[in-house]
Amino acid sequence: MTDRSSPGVWRLYVITDEKVSRGRSHPQVAEAAILGGADALQLRDKEASGGRLYRVALQLRKLTREADVPFIVNDRLDIALAVDADGVHVGQADLPASVVREIIGPGKILGVSVNTVEEATLAEKDGADYLGVGPVFEARGTKPDAGLPLGVDGIARIRRHCRLPIVAIGGINAENARKVREAGADAAAVISAIAAADDIAQAARRLKGILEEEGQR
């Protein structure tokens, strides 16, 4: 795993979601986010057919490879393998992290969604490379089934028990990004604050600046 692909050095993790992108496609959002400094990119689409998701993933794989930005596929292990993505992100209702690690091998990135210390320690034991901790703030606009917000205290609690890089997710924007870094998150995963912005590249640039600034204090 190269330095660039190590989750520990990420600050801005952008998730593409056409539900909130105001008519802009996954590749359009991805290209602008990369221009704005995204450190990692995740393709997430719960409704696309396998065929369409594969075609979109191929486009994003090309974009991210040219920009040297790690490319992660949400949930769909088959798509991640088919396009040679850099990794896959799974939730608590998906295949167990230990099984996913066996399938993808040691050279790919594995992210796991967690919201308790118990889930986090199990993910660490099962071979995760980073923890997607959340929802930190209210996030039902992009994830209707999201649980109750953990708040920044939830990040701090998991940080005390786990050494893996933490990517905070859920309702994060330029107004509250500093709080997640202060609580111990290494990076912020963002959907609406980037994909729904008037100027995606500018929004990404601003948010990354905030996340980097907080990490240097």
Find out whether 65 and 85 touch, Cβ atoms under 8 Å.
no
Task: Give the phi and the psi of residue 71 in degrees, each rounded to 5.
Answer: -115, 120
Residue burial 48-73, b: 16+ Cβ < 10 Å; e: rest:
beeeebeebbebbbebbeeeebbbbb
108 is catalytic: no
44 tagged catalytic = yes
- Which ranges of 162-199 does DSSP label H, i.e. alpha helix? 177-182, 192-195
User: Hunting for tokens 């769909």 — which residue is that?
Assistant: 76
Catalytic residue (choose from 5, 11, 44, 192): 44
* Residue of 11, 143, 159, 181 with catalytic role: 143
Q: Which of 21, 113, 157, 159 is catalytic?
A: 113
143 is catalytic: yes
Just list the catalytic residues: 44, 113, 143
